[in-house]
Amino acid sequence: MSNLEQRPAETLTGSVPSPRQSLRVLAPRDVPLGGTRAMHVRRTLPHRDLRTVGAWCFLDDYGPQEVVGAGAMQVPPHPHTGLQTVTWLLDGQVRHQDSLGNDQLVRPGELNLMTAGRGISHAETSPTGATGDLCGLQLWVALPSERRDVEPDLGHHADLPVLHGEGFEATVLLGSLMGATSPARAFTPIVGAEVELRAAAVVTLELERTYEHAVLALSDDVVVDGTPVERAHLVHLSPGRPGLRLSAGRAAGRLLLLGGEPFDEELLMWWNFVARSHDEIVEAREEWMAAVAGAATRFGQVSAYDGAALPAPAVPTSRLRPRRRTQ
């Protein structure tokens, strides 16, 4: 999906301090995606107190919302650079169309991984005639400097590895977890997995010790290392942990586990671009506006999409500054 904010400056919410320094609970902020659609998302990355988790640099979750009229997803063609987008649905379906000519239906349990690299554009819509609820996650992964100009690519993975453990199941989206490795293409040491806990389960997941991690609660009653976490809140865990203790309440629990080697490069995120400098952002924006007007650019055209592309917001008058991992 797109960052549709028309004034995409960061206005971020604070975190709740935890008695244990190595574990922080971050509240989501509600972001209206604008336009005539009333769609809202809960954004936990980037956060005022947490720029990235490994190379994971953007995390929205949304729904469940009924797919009727204005409630359907209607994101017109828009560009990306310097990142991978991860679309992961919990319910419903999304149609992905991109400037490489891909037209892909995304269903729950299937990973849609778009590598923007030097530039791509795509549209995301509810399929014609879709009904029921839509609920899902949109994440971005920053590409490291030496690989951020790779050729754009779409990976679609309907057959991801699933770990079956005592009291839990985990689907590995990206990287490896406890010996199960996703076939999806990653550019940095990283992990992403959806974990389902059975009711009343108490589970220990083994972690890669050099990674930092985060857990997004996708249901109520998720407890992370003894700390209850509200739905849609994100728990950040510092590197150095050999494992993670998770438990569910009386009902089953669902969560997303993210992790990776701390990403130490400076990043500048503006609208749908991940860059390193103000000038790169201005250049990408100008090129996209030329593409909207019909020019041939690195972003291509989503020719199968029936409608106008999404213009970029105005660049702020002050110079945008890249952000370090910690401030």
Q: What are the residues binding Mn ion (CB under 5 A)?
A: 2
The span from the CA of 87 to the CA of 52, in Å, is 18
Smallest gap from Cβ 125 to Mn ion, in A, equals 12
Q: Which is nearer to Mn ion, 127 or 249 (CB)?
A: 127
Q: Which is nearer to Mn ion, 232 or 302 (CB)?
A: 302
Smallest gap from Cβ 81 to Mn ion, in A, equals 11
Q: Which is nearer to Mn ion, 81 or 188 (CB)?
A: 81
Q: Which is nearer to Mn ion, 85 or 171 (CB)?
A: 85
Smallest gap from Cβ 116 to Mn ion, in A, equals 9
Tokens, residue 141: 């992964």
Smallest gap from Cβ 16 to Mn ion, in A, equals 30
**Dihedral, CA of residue 173, residue 256, residue 67 and residue 35, to nearest 10:** -100
The span from the CA of 28 to the CA of 60, in Å, is 9
Smallest gap from Cβ 33 to Mn ion, in A, equals 11
Q: Which is nearer to Mn ion, 44 or 125 (CB)?
A: 125
Contacts of 137 (CB under 8 A, 6+ apart): 59, 60, 61, 62, 86, 87, 88, 89, 90, 216, 256
The span from the CA of 255 to the CA of 193, in Å, is 8
Smallest gap from Cβ 76 to Mn ion, in A, equals 10
Residue nearest to Mn ion (CB): 2
Tokens, residue 264: 């130490």
The span from the CA of 21 to the CA of 129, in Å, is 49
Q: Which is nearer to Mn ion, 2 or 171 (CB)?
A: 2
The span from the CA of 58 to the CA of 46, in Å, is 6
